[in-house]
Amino acid sequence: MREGDTLCVWKLDRLGRSTKDVLTIAEDLRARGIALRILTGTLAGNYSPKGEGKFFFTVIVAFAELERDMIVERTRAGLDAAKAQGRTGGRPSVITEDVLTGAEARKAKGESITAIAKALGVSRATLYRHIR
């Protein structure tokens, strides 16, 4: 960006990952003569790093970082609770125990992984991942 340009961000916390990052980036933009426009949120509008505006900006950035950290913590706790209950996320495996047993028997008879994978309609990588 060049002097006189305006950087637009959807929300203040999209500007950086931490309070320090956001403040450093905002100060760098100001020093280079680049305006900062925040489109949504508490500080929607043009940012002016003077007096009370700078203090309020710092406080809002700190709250945004705290909110992000809390979301990460809650997500982790939810995933751990689901795991403790025996639930796992992600896509279900295409290899069931029956399919795996059949594939291992075919491999024991000398059939190639490529031929087995083609017959089962799965990738070779999937078979290699499951066959012991």
pLDDT tens, N- to C-terminus, the chain (132 residues): 899 999 999 988 788 888 888 888 888 988 898 888 989 877 788 877 677 777 878 888 888 888 889 999 999 999 999 999 998 888 888 898 999 999 999 999 999 999 999 999 999 999 999 987
Q: What is the pLDDT of residue 49?
A: 67
Q: What is the pLDDT of residue 39?
A: 92
Q: What is the pLDDT of residue 64?
A: 83
Strand order through the sheet with 35-38: 6-9, 35-38, 45-46
Q: What is the pTM of this model?
A: 0.54
Q: What is the pLDDT of residue 18?
A: 83
**DSSP output for 53-122:** HHHHHHHHHHHHHHHHHHHHHHHHHHHHHHHHTT---SPPPS--HHHHHHHHHHHHTT--HHHHHHHHT-
Q: What is the pLDDT of residue 111?
A: 94
